[in-house]
Amino acid sequence: MNSLHTRRVSAVLGAVSACLLAAISAHAAGQAGGATSVLSADSFTFVAEPVGTPGPAQTLSLTNTGSADLNIVSIVIVGPDFSQSNTCGNLVAAGATCAIDIIFDPIAFGTRSGSITITSDAGNSPQTVKLVGTGMGPAVSLSKGALSFSSQLVTTTSTPQTVVLSSTGDEPLAISTIIVTGPFSDTDTCLSAEVSAGTTCSITVYFTPIAGGTATGTITIRDDAYPNIQTIALSGTGADFDLSLSPTSNSTNSGSSANYTVSVTPTGGFAGTVALECGGLRAGVGCSFSPASITVSGTSPATSALTVSTTASGAVSPIGKSRPILPLGLRIRPLWLWSLLLLGVGGLIAVRRARTRWMVACAAVALLLGALLMPACGGSKSTSTMVTAAGKYRFVVTGTTPAGSGSIQGTAYFTLVVN
């Protein structure tokens, strides 16, 4: 009984082993007769090309040497200087060949490298081919791609910053234009002549803000490199102050005062002293500040009290006015006085020579009029009353601070209503 059981187990095991061997053999046979991908090369070296100029294509052949169709999953090229086109599609029949054309188009000077990888259902997938090429011609590099300037008082010019431009190609670099935008300016040594290969030139940049707050600009360089445009981003902060009044309108009676608050707020890191004064005042109106100058820094505003005064009465001295001494209130100007005096003197001279009666009469009249008119030409000490008239007045407060060899100003307008 035990012997029979042992024989049956052995038979079953033998059958299972035979099935496994058959399956393994069939799988091996299938693999041997499947798709196989064979490439014509494992690397390409391209001839040197000018930067920005594509060269002729080189062809990579892919052959399916197996007995089954080859399914292409992807053909991927790596590296910005290379591109490909192919006739492989998604399937390569057994025994067939397709072509992969690779083009080298350098985007920069010097040695450029990349690769192309083919992924398929072949047993040796994925397959990678190395790519190498050289870019030649003029090339350029900049020491900085951006410049940032610190806080600078408006209307004044900053300490300069410099960007070094290098000609990194194997041919001279020709620069056609350097254009600066925004509140920035430059001087350079790049436009005078071509920049020889391996040499440098410099671009010096200045910041002159025209308003408080952040300012931006660019430097655009056009040349014969590839790409033929290079840019430098520019930024800076203008330091200034804002002037404001509270309230912007106030009222008072003639002979009384109105009060305002003047605020000076720094912007862009402004720090300094601002002197205040009023403008556009009418007769009988005055103003005063306490304090008359405000020192500010940081971001917090500083204030001054403004008092605007009016007058109910006052006095003026009318300089150069004459008093009426003739009928109908006629006034005699000094020119007439001197003419009459000269006429009198001339008459006296003529009397001594001719001694005629009519000349004596003329001289006497002239001297008499001159004597009478002499007091009429003196300044009058009389006074007249001045009153701030009722109405609506608009005045201005000006704040001034030194800026380099000049100054900058801020203004704020306010209204005064006199009842």
Residue 27 has pLDDT above 80, yes or no: no
**Which helix (H) or strand (E) is 394 found in, with range?**
strand 391-403
User: Is-contact 93 59, C-beta < 8 A?
Assistant: no
The mean per-residue pLDDT over the stretch 57-61 comes to 97
C-beta separation of 6 from 36 below 8 A? no
Looking at the structure, give the CATH architecture of the domain made up of residues 37-136. Sandwich (2.60)
The pLDDT of residue 24 is 38
Q: What is the pLDDT of residues 73-103, one digit of tens each?
A: 999 999 999 999 999 999 999 999 999 999 9
- Helix (H) or strand (E) segment spanning residue 360: helix 357-373
Mean pLDDT (whole number) for 301-317: 82
Domain coordinates in residue numbering, the chain: 37-136, 140-239, 247-314+387-418, 330-376
Q: ∠ at Cα 310 (306, 311), nearest 5°?
A: 150
- Spatial contact of 211 and 227, defined as CB atoms under 8 Å apart: no
Which residue is associated with the tokens 């704040």? 399
At 241 the three-state DSSP class reads strand
Range list of H helices, 322-356: 334-354
- Between 361 and 294, where is the model more confident? 294
Q: Which of 84-93, 219-228, 363-372, 402-411 has the lowest mean pLDDT?
A: 363-372
DSSP bridge partners of 39: 62
Mean pLDDT of the chain: 83
Judged against a pLDDT cut of 90, whether residue 154 lies above it is answered with: yes
Task: State the average pLDDT over residues 356-383.
Answer: 47
Q: What's the whole-number mean pLDDT along residues 381-397?
A: 76
Q: In whole angstroms, what is the distance from residue 366 CA to residue 338 CA?
A: 10
- Give residue 377's pLDDT: 39
CA–CA gap between residue 108 and residue 129 (Å, rounded): 22
Contact indicator for 418, 251 with CB cutoff of 8 Å: yes
pLDDT in tens, 289-306: 999 999 999 899 999 999
Write out the H or E segment, with its range, that includes residue 153.
Answer: strand 146-153
Beta partners for 236? Answer: 215
Report domain 140-239's class: mainly beta
The pLDDT value recorded for residue 192 is 83
CB 379 within 8 A of CB 372: no
- pLDDT at residue 376 greater than cutoff 50: no
The reported pTM is 0.65
Asked if the domains at 140-239 and 247-314+387-418 fall in one CATH topology, the answer is yes
| Class of domain 247-314+387-418 as given by CATH | mainly beta
Q: What pLDDT is recorded for position 9?
A: 42
Query: What is the reported pLDDT for 417?
Result: 96
Q: Is the pLDDT of residue 257 over 60?
A: yes
Cβ–Cβ < 8 Å for 234, 227: no
The predicted pLDDT at position 52 comes to: 87
